[in-house]
């Protein structure tokens, strides 16, 4: 089982940089950051918690690390046109010498959509837009020219030059919705991610197997990734054991108000 980490880009840049370099030095499979512009609030009010923009942070980390993969976990589908995303991910792949992961999600956080006037849409339209965006990004990353005619997006002989360094830049689809998101992952994903306990994740993974069977895809083609926000002081070595039977990758949590050393300690244990 690979061990990765999601860094809280609500931390000061110096701390994000230090944690990324520690994780890279310890041999983390991937370093992820979230894609938000402010902290989440339970009542959906605007938050004063600042966040560093994800793709800019990842590009900077690409020059400061050497082996860990780099990606958002996950890009909110409502914030950027998918053609822009495909170009950003391609640039990240070049800057990182072929280490980019295309982490994609539908978008969900109400307060930032409200504050910036970004349409969150109803669940049906949001799912439609997300599936189209994953299709567009997949095509642009993998085809010389792309055509697409959807309700939300249209491409006409669209290039994405230069192509990524990786022959197949991995697409990670995040989310556990069984009606729309998991079938989207079955169709397009190289990696599927959802947070959860070992038991909860195993159940979602079984739904992904069923979705793959429904379209004739080998479920073994899709890596399985999860994680859980264990509190400071958890025996992480013990907590990780049941995950080894249900996933290929466990993502260690970091958050801004957590002691920096606590995240370093968790990574040291998990990667030891």
The full set of domain ranges for the chain reads: 2-270
Q: Are 237 and 269 in contact (CB under 8 A)?
A: yes
Rounded to whole angstroms, what are the CA distances from 257 to 37, 43, 83, 238, 261?
A: 17, 20, 35, 24, 12
Beta strands in 92-205 (DSSP E): 102-105, 145-149, 154-159, 171-174, 191-193
pLDDT of residue 38: 87
> In the beta sheet, which residues pair with residue 154?
149
pLDDT of residue 8: 96
199, burial (CB in 10 Å: exposed 0-12, middle 13-18, buried 19+): exposed
Question: How is the chain split among helix, strand and coil, in percent rounded to 5?
Answer: 40, 20, 40
pLDDT of residue 161: 95
Give the residue from 91, 34, 16 showing the smallest Cα distance to 260.
16
Location of structure tokens 């009010």: 45
List the Cα angle 185/99/265 in 5-degree steps: 90
CA–CA gap between residue 90 and residue 37 (Å, rounded): 22
CA–CA gap between residue 76 and residue 37 (Å, rounded): 10
pLDDT of residue 197: 97
- Whether the full predicted model's pTM is greater than 0.85, yes or no, is yes
Fold of 2-270: TIM Barrel (3.20.20)
Give the residue from 96, 92, 121, 95 showing the smallest Cα distance to 106.
121
> In the beta sheet, which residues pair with residue 223?
191
pLDDT of residue 48: 85
DSSP state at residue 116: H
Q: Are 54 and 9 in contact (CB under 8 A)?
A: yes
Give the residue from 111, 103, 106 showing the smallest Cα distance to 123.
106
Instruction: State pLDDT tens for residues 98-152.
Output: 999 999 999 999 999 999 999 999 999 999 999 999 999 999 999 999 999 999 9
Token couple for 270: 């998990």
pLDDT tens track, the chain, 272 positions: 999 999 999 999 999 999 999 999 999 999 999 999 988 899 999 888 889 999 999 999 999 999 999 999 999 999 999 999 999 999 999 999 999 999 999 999 999 999 999 999 999 999 999 999 999 999 999 999 999 999 999 999 999 999 999 999 999 999 999 999 999 999 999 999 999 999 999 999 999 999 999 999 999 999 999 999 999 999 999 999 999 999 999 999 999 999 999 999 999 999 98
The b-or-e profile of 160-172 (16+ CB within 10 A means b, else e) is beebbbbeebbbb
């Amino acid at each position: 089982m690979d061990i990765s980490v999601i860094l809280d880009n609500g931390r000061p840049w110096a701390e994000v940089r230090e944690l990324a370099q520690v994780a890279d030095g310890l041999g983390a499979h991937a370093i992820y950051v979230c894609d938000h512009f402010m902290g989440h609030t339970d009542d959906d009010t605007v938050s004063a918690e600042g966040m560093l923009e994800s793709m800019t942070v990842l590009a900077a980390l690409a020059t400061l690390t050497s082996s860990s993969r780099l990606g958002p976990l996950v890009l909110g589908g409502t914030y950027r046109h998918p053609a822009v995303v495909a170009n950003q991910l391609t640039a990240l792949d070049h800057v990182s010498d072929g280490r980019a992961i295309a982490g994609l999600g539908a978008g969900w956080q109400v307060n930032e959509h409200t504050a910036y006037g970004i349409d969150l849409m109803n669940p049906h339209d949001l799912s439609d837009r997300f599936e189209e965006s994953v299709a567009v990004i997949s095509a642009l990353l993998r085809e010389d020219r792309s055509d697409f005619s959807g309700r939300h997006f249209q491409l006409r002989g669209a290039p994405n030059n230069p192509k990524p360094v990786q022959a197949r830049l991995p697409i990670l689809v995040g989310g556990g919705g069984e009606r729309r998101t998991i079938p989207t992952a079955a169709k397009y994903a190289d990696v599927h991610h959802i947070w959860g306990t070992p038991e909860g994740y195993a159940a979602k993974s079984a739904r992904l197997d069923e979705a793959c069977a429904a379209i004739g895809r080998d479920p073994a083609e899709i890596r399985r990734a999860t994680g859980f926000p264990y509190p400071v002081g958890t025996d992480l070595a013990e907590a990780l054991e049941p995950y080894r039977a249900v996933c290929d990758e466990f993502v260690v949590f970091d958050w801004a108000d957590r002691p920096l050393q606590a995240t370093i300690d968790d990574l040291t244990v998990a990667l030891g």
